Amino acid sequence: MKARILRIDTAHPLYGQEVDLRERVLLKPLGLDIEKLRNMYPEQEEESKHIVVVIDHPTGELVIGCIHLRPNCPEKGIGKLSQMAVDPQRQNEGVGRILVAEVEKMAVGELGLHEIYCHAQAPAVGFYKKMGWSIEGEMFSEADIEHYKMVCRLSPPDPDATAQAQTIQLDLDGV
Ligand SMILES: CC(C)(COP(=O)(O)OP(=O)(O)OC[C@H]1O[C@@H](n2cnc3c(N)ncnc32)[C@H](O)[C@@H]1OP(=O)(O)O)[C@@H](O)C(=O)NCCC(=O)NCCS
C-alpha cells in the first residue's frame, strides 16, 4: 500500500486527524488533550513544523503517523522533536523510522540546524537508539513519566541538497 509523507500546518484539512492521533496515542495516556497542551506550551503548535504520514482509505486520506520539529528551540541551530506518534495498528511497520528520517533531512537540509533533541519517554528510548540517537544526561520526570533527553548531532548540510517537494511518494513495506 502506498503511503505519503506531507508537511502540514494547523490550517490544513488533515490537522484535525493529526490532533486526534496525538490525543489517542500520546496525550490521553498522560491525562492531557490538545487544549491543555496549548495552554502549557502556548506557541509550540504554531511554531513547530508538522509532518504526517497518510495512506488512502475508503473514507479518504488517513493520518497514521505524525511528528513535530520546532526549529531554533531553545537556541539558534538546535531543534526540538516532539509529538511523535504512530497509529497502534500501524506500529512496527517502519512509519516511525520514516518520520524521524524526514525530520533529520528537513533539519539539516532546509533549516540549517546542527542538532535535534527530544524528551523520550522511557519505553521509546530503544526506538530512538535504533535511529542513531544518544541519551544525554540523567532520567527525569515529565508529566509523571520517566523521560530521557536524547540527541542527534547532524552533519553539515549537503551543498547539493535541493529543496524538498511538499509531497513525497513513499513505498512502505507492509503499509
Ligand atoms: C515509538 C514509535 C513512534 C515507533 O514508531 P514505529 O512506526 O512503531 O517504529 P518503526 O516501525 O519505524 O521502528 C523502527 C525500528 O525501531 C524498533 N522499535 C520500534 N519501537 C521500539 C521501541 N519502543 N523500543 C525499541 N525499539 C523499537 C523497531 O523494531 C524497528 O527496528 P528494526 O529497524 O531493527 O526492525 C511508536 O511505537 C509509537 O507511536 N509509540 C507510542 C507513542 C510514543 O511512545 N511516542 C514517542 C514518545 S517520546
Half-sphere exposure of 42 (CA within 13 A, CB side): 0
**What is the per-residue pLDDT for 165?**
45
Mutate which of 20, 67, 92, 128 to test ligand 1's pocket (most atoms within 8 Å of Cβ)? 92
**Ligand 1 atom having least distance to the Cα of 87:** 39
Q: How confident is residue 40, by pLDDT bands cut at 50, 70 and 90?
A: very high
- All structural domains of the chain, each given as residue ranges with its CATH number in brackets, are 2-171 (3.40.630.30)
Cβ atoms of 81 and 51 closer than 8 Å = no
Span from the CA of 160 to the centroid of ligand 1 (angstroms): 31
Separation of alpha carbons 27 and 36, rounded Å:
9
Cβ atoms of 61 and 19 closer than 8 Å = no
Average pLDDT, the chain: 92
Query: Quick check: 10 pLDDT over 70?
Result: yes
Q: Which residue has the cell 511538499?
A: 166
Q: Would the CB of 172 count as within 6 Å of ligand 1?
A: no
CA angle (134, 148, 45) in 5-degree steps: 100
Write out pLDDT tens, residues 66-113: 999 999 999 999 999 999 999 999 999 999 999 999 999 999 999 999
**What is the per-residue pLDDT for 152?**
98
Region of residue 64 (left: phi > 0; alpha: psi -120 to 50; beta: else): alpha
**What is the per-residue pLDDT for 5?**
97
**What is the per-residue pLDDT for 159?**
65
Q: Residue 76 CB: number of other CB atoms within 10 A?
A: 10
Span from the CA of 99 to the centroid of ligand 1 (angstroms): 11
**What is the per-residue pLDDT for 166?**
47
Q: In one letter, which amino acid is 144?
A: D
CA angle (107, 83, 39) in 5-degree steps: 115
Write out pLDDT tens, residues 112-166: 999 999 999 999 999 999 999 999 999 999 888 999 999 999 987 666 655 554 4
Cβ atoms of 13 and 172 closer than 8 Å = no
